[in-house]
Amino acid sequence: MRLSTATAPVQINWAILPILALSLIVFVGVLSQIYPVGVDWEESYHAAFRHFRDPYTHSDFAGIPWLLALPHALLPLEVGNAINFILHILLLGAIIWKYRGGWQAVLLTFTSPLFLDLARTNNVDWVPALAFLLPPEWGLVLLAAKPQTLGCAALIWWKRQKYSLRMLVPLIVVVALSFAIWGWWPGKIGMAEGDDIRQAAWNFAPWPFAIPLGLYLLVQAYKADDEIMAAAATPFLVPYFAPYSLVPLLALLSSRHRKAALYLYFAFWFFFIVEGRRVGMLA
């Protein structure tokens, strides 16, 4: 007798969904009361959404404008802040699950000083993380919204699509709409940071000295058809990024390139301890 090797369909217990939804609502309510409001959420995204048509002159927002398509930014400050933090936990966990990172990846990601810094600022780095869970044409839109630390992964996605222009259509439409709504926004990015965003105190990019390393990693990623290695090349090829934006990259590396993730993990703990002692945060 021949046994079937077909995988049984996943059975979903729909009865537990209302319980999960209620639990999530309760969790948001509790977290909104105890979780400090992140500085980036308050001064950039929450403030920018309340000046949607002119975010660059009324907030510290200095990103790509379709990042403002955040429905929870309409909610009260503390509630939106809690939801935004939960989205980080859920989506970082989701990409670790997708790439089979296991408990080791969870531990490396959520105990890193990078994640602690992300929890402090509560930026929106769940957005590029979500890009790795969507079809490439829609993932590209999210990756382009915040490309500083994962953007080169798009090259591998496009290669897999045999360089089809159809993959670029959603991004082209979104960019066109953004110009219709916000005008020539590229000239406004970084206005809140002064004349040169690369001089911001939070900028951690090794630009331009690490460009050769970034190009090497990108070539190797192209040969290996590895979107995570391509993502890892990105921070070496861009003029600015904040350390907390490396959290999705750490989650991805922890899932597929554990040794590289360990280097990143311990390097930032070393930096955190040394810098903390220098400024008097640590005895």
pLDDT band of residue 3 (cuts 50, 70, 90) is very low
Alpha-carbon distance of 136 to 140, in angstroms, equals 6
Q: What mean pLDDT do residues 252-260 have? A: 96
Tell me the pLDDT tens digit for each residue of 60-113.
898 899 999 899 999 999 999 999 999 999 999 999 999 999 999 999 999 999
Alpha-carbon distance of 175 to 181, in angstroms, equals 10
Percent of the chain at pLDDT exceeding 90:
73
Q: What mean pLDDT do residues 17-38 have? A: 88
Q: What tokens does 271 get?
A: 């930096």
**pTM for the predicted model, two decimal places:** 0.90
Q: Which of 5-14, 25-34, 59-68, 117-126 has the lowest mean pLDDT?
A: 5-14
Tell me the pLDDT tens digit for each residue of 204-229.
999 999 999 999 999 999 999 999 99
Q: How much is the pLDDT for 6?
A: 45
Alpha-carbon distance of 45 to 64, in angstroms, equals 11
Q: How much is the pLDDT for 12?
A: 56
pLDDT band of residue 22 (cuts 50, 70, 90) is confident
252 burial type by CB count under 10 A (0-12 exposed, 13-18 middle, 19+ buried): buried
Alpha-carbon distance of 118 to 242, in angstroms, equals 10
Q: Above 90 in pLDDT, residue 15?
A: no
- φ/ψ (deg, to 5) at 207: -70, 140
> Where along the chain do its domains lie?
25-278
Work out the mean pLDDT of the chain and round it to a whole number: 89
Tell me the pLDDT tens digit for each residue of 173-184.
999 999 999 999
- Dihedral sign (CA 200, 202, 203, 206): positive
